[in-house]
Chain A
Amino acid sequence: MSPHNVVVLDNGGGLIKAGHGGECDPLVVVPNCLYRPPSSKKWLYPNPLNPTTTTTTTTVEPSSVTEVDLTSAAVRRPMDRGYMINPELQREIWAHLFSSILHINPSNSSLLLTEPLFTLPSIQQSMDELVFEDFNFKSLYVADPPSLVHLYEASRRPDGLVSRAQCSLVVDCGFSFTHASPVFQNFTLNYAVKRIDLGGKALTNYLKELVSFRAVNVMEETFIMDDVKENLCFVSLDVPRDLQIARKPGRENLFRCTYVLPDGVTHTKGFVKYPDQVHRYHSLADDAPLAPTETKEDMNNTEMTEKPEDRRRVDLTKNEFDLTNERFLVPEMIFHPADLGMNEAGLAECIVRAVNCCHPQLHPVLYESIILTGGSTLFPQFAKRLEMELRPLVPDDYHVKITPQQDPMLGVWRGGSLLASSPDFKAMCVTKSEYEELGSARCRKRFFH
């Protein structure tokens, strides 16, 4: 069996990453949902994002140029809290994916599918039914995301600690939730996995709520607010200081940013009004807790010469809103869910608890091989902040090393592609005939999780 007959499908709550095994990047990255704009009666399939530039949606493939207006679109997702709860919807989305986008014939391909940790048996069963009975795949392998991330990272740096020690701590901060999972010799130590019930979706919804209360009602605008979050949010390195700065009026406020909502006539996508505002907070990044006033004055001067005075006025005729402290208070929730009223520990503590569940001899290695993956780790300064929070919690004589993945959204898929091209992949799969003979529960025992 050549690896090209293996379809690798990372079925995430937010995005499906799909492609052929053995390749370096997925062929297609497509939102795992159906949406319905207010103008339409039917639920539509979303357009694939360009796989290499998922973060900055620039040019979409020519095959899908029908640019759609996503304003106020309702969404239906087959996943709830990261788990597949609606097999019918998932079948529709997969059918479209396999036939119209990937152009594959499931009955002569194998499937490598990712499934979140601790998937309930009932959900596993409906997944198996979907794969074997609805789509007739030849064989199936179900992998858990952390082990794939570990596999990929270990293969990237054969001399690195991850591959020498055969051990890493994968922090996957995705769309639905955040997992800290120790991986040892390609197996996820599931007794040590810790989860925070916060992910990109909750953050987008939180941002929606804040903006809707403070400025414009955007409760319906899931896609636009996703864009706002991706472009404007960042992780603060010093929250009290940044709150002080965000309070300042006018130009001294390094965080104020204006976002223009689509008007449906001249532009159907929202955009940041003054792109130079977005990165102004970087001038603070390396400073001591109290930002020196000189640099800020420099900023002011340059701006004074650049732009006229009335730049800060919000134009009410256009639909736009300002973001200030929301930009960093939204991602802040991953580090302090308690602020939101959730009775859950933050990410740093989550990591410590996951490590403490492992054998003591693994602790130093795990702290030194933390891998960040998942779309929500793309917030600027995420790794830096995590290290700042983690360092005081870790014993002095251990090193803390946090490695962000290069393309955190695709990391799991790449690991899957690697696994699919390994020689013994075929032996690990469950074939359709085995499934028919033994049923779902017995076949699942083969995957060890």
Chain B
Amino acid sequence: MDDEVSNSLRRMSSRTRKVAPKMAAALASSDNRTQAALARLEALENDNAGIEAVEAIDDDEASLDDEDQVFMQKKQSKGTKRTTRQAKALEARKAPRTFLELLHEANLELLPPHVPSYWKAAVGPPSSTCRRHFCTVCGFSANYTCVRCGMRFCSYRCQNVHNDTRCLKFVA
């Protein structure tokens, strides 16, 4: 039981460990728009578009025929934790940790301030804060902001396209 608790704690921490400190701060602000923007930036570093989907298929290859069931099982296993410890250990070994996890583990913040490190090499925010906005639909310069999700569009036509396709995805 004790082990279970510590395990669940560890799961929690591994969840936050996935993001860099600055991002974690932004995430904690629970602002949907910044979250969406960060998720979008994260996605730019993905190798495959649907990396989660690929791995899910790898995991339960036996019950591929019924997708809904797989999904239910996944959900359940998240809640009640039906996987054995050994399976989980195997999975943990199988899944390589991401760079951000390794970065967090390296505890670079503890280094003395004069030592150059990964964090100190980051270029930092731009000197001018003005940002050009491009229409998320067609790419031209965008003068309008969507009141619901904060994305940009340039014209009534693009607004309609935006509302039909992208808008609610990020807010909901």
Q: Which residues does A use to contact B, with CB under 8 Å? A: 33, 74-77, 80-83, 85-86, 88-89, 117-118, 120-123, 179-180, 190-191, 193-197, 201-202, 205-206, 208-210, 213-214, 219-220, 222, 239-240, 243, 246-247, 324-326, 329, 336-346, 349-350, 353
Contact = CB atoms under 8 A, between A and B. Distances in A.
B138 interface: yes
Contact of B96 (A74, A88, A342): A88
Contact of B102 (A82, A123, A341): A123
A190 B116 contact: yes
A83 B118 CA distance: 11
Given A193-B116, A214-B139, A325-B140, 16 more contacts: A74-B54, A80-B45, A120-B108, A179-B121, A191-B120, A194-B121, A194-B122, A202-B45, A205-B46, A206-B44, A208-B49, A222-B48, A338-B129, A340-B41, A341-B37, A344-B126
B95 to A, nearest CB: 9
B103 A120 contact: yes
Contact of A344 (B50, B102, B125): B125
B45 A343 contact: no
Interface in B137-162: 137-141
Contacts of B121: 117-118, 179, 190, 193-195
A338 B116 CA distance: 25
Nearest to A350: B123
B124 A76 contact: no
A160 B43 CA distance: 43
Contacts, number: 133
Given A118-B116, A120-B106, A329-B139, A338 B122 contact: no
Interface in B96-138: 96-100, 102-103, 105-106, 108, 114, 116-118, 120-127, 129, 131-134, 136-138
A195 B44 contact: no
B40 interface: yes
Contacts of B106: 120-122
A271 to B, nearest CB: 23
A79 to B, nearest CB: 8
Contacts of B166: 213
Interface residues of B, number: 47
Contact of A85 (B48, B96, B134): B96
Nearest to A212: B49
Given A74-B48, A208-B49, A341-B40, A243 B140 contact: yes
* 8 closest Cβ pairs, A-B complex: A219-B49, A86-B96, A345-B126, A202-B44, A80-B99, A118-B118, A325-B139, A81-B99
Nearest to A210: B139
Contacts of B117: 118
Nearest to B128: A338
25 contacts: A76-B47, A80-B98, A81-B45, A81-B99, A83-B102, A89-B96, A120-B108, A123-B102, A193-B116, A194-B122, A196-B123, A205-B46, A213-B166, A219-B49, A243-B141, A336-B132, A338-B132, A340-B41, A340-B44, A341-B41, A342-B41, A344-B123, A345-B124, A345-B127, A353-B124
A75 B122 contact: no
A88 B96 CA distance: 9
A75 B136 CA distance: 27
A205 B139 contact: no
A288 to B, nearest CB: 21
Interface in B25-46: 37, 40-41, 43-46
A179 B139 CA distance: 28
Contact of B126 (A80, A219, A349): A349
Contacts of A75: 47-48
Contacts of A341: 37, 40-41
B112 to A, nearest CB: 13
B122 to A, nearest CB: 6
A336 to B, nearest CB: 7
B49 A220 contact: yes
